[in-house]
Amino acid sequence: MSRRPVVVVLGEHAQDRPEHLEPIADRVELRFTDEHGLPDAVQGAEVLFLWHFFSTAVQDVWAQCTGLRWIHVAAAGVDKLVFPALAASDVVVTNARGVFDRPIAEYVLGAVLAHAKQTHLSHDLQRRHVWRHRETRSAKGAHAMVVGTGGIGRETARLLRAVGMRVTGAGRTARTDDPDFGTVVPSHALVEHLGDVDYLVNAAPLTPATRGLVDAAVLTALPAHAHLVNVGRGESVVTDDLVAALRAGSLDGVSLDVVDPEPLPEDSPLWDLPGVVITPHMSGDVVGWRDTLARQFVANAERWLDGRPLRNVVDTRLGYVPGGGR
């Protein structure tokens, strides 16, 4: 009888085991581990399932990964995983593309509407028992520029368009006939296209091209009434520049689901600056999301076991799955 292929499941804790693996349990040898046990667990393993998707431990045990053929990350972003030796190898990397598109797009829509309708200010006034009539903005006709034209960015564009917003995109390749964005401007020239932007939404993966993309120059180029929504990665925004812009009043607040660093330190000025809304990297985590992630891996594992092409294959040089038009 031939040996079953070894699949290592890396959890945050050794007992942190995803459900719904039964369809492949009889076809593979499953090894569950945490980072402490990973050096031993990867010995002879062909597949590594990063259930602990923010782990950076693979690089530390790379010398022991001699039999590894495939790594699946239970996240859309692979920036915590990819390192030069992995990118130069034949190991295939896949991700959770598609799982978070709609939840994160809903988060962005909620953030935009909350800002336009001053929901957070109303809550603050309510807690102080203050009745203050105000006029709010309409989302209809407002211009949103979405940085990152992959699955998350596209679903975000569709939802924002549904409430009457004008949406454009920023990505790796400029074009004028995109089905979801119409016009896509090059991200490297972002600062040149922000004069009429009401909402700047970062939904891009973290790559060398997007690290520090939203800096002082970009923030200064935005109108003073503009609002920033970040659902990509915290490192895409220069935190010190963001704090300075907020203190100077050159930006009308931010909605941050991701920050740099994470977790946000207790003494960070972002906690208390006016107009700042912070959530702890949860925009895609709707009820049942872990079940969806586990089932997605199982479906791909069945393809691998049957010799069929894997889905969601990441180009490790780019840092994302090609084809989204980024």
Which residues does the annotation mark as catalytic?
233, 262, 281
Residue in this structure with the two tokens 């569950």, named with its chain if needed: 32
> Which residues make beta-bridge pairs with 256?
230, 278
In single-letter form, the type of residue at position 260 comes to: D
Q: In terms of Cα–Cα distance, which of 229, 220, 166 is closest to 195? A: 220
- Cis link prior to 263 (omega < 30° from 0)? yes
Q: How far apart are CA 280 and CA 128, in angstroms?
A: 26
In single-letter form, the type of residue at position 153 comes to: G
User: Is residue 29 classed as helix, strand or coil in its secondary structure?
Assistant: strand
Q: How far apart are CA 168 and CA 23, in angstroms?
A: 42
Residue 181 DSSP class: T
Q: How far apart are CA 104 and CA 156, in angstroms?
A: 7
Q: In terms of Cα–Cα distance, which of 79, 48, 50, 87 is closest to 65? A: 48
3-state helix, strand, coil in the chain (%, to 5): 30, 20, 50
CB 142 within 8 A of CB 299: no
CB 312 within 8 A of CB 98: yes
Classify burial at 190, counting beta carbons within 10 Å of its beta carbon; exposed 0-12, middle 13-18, buried 19 or more.
buried
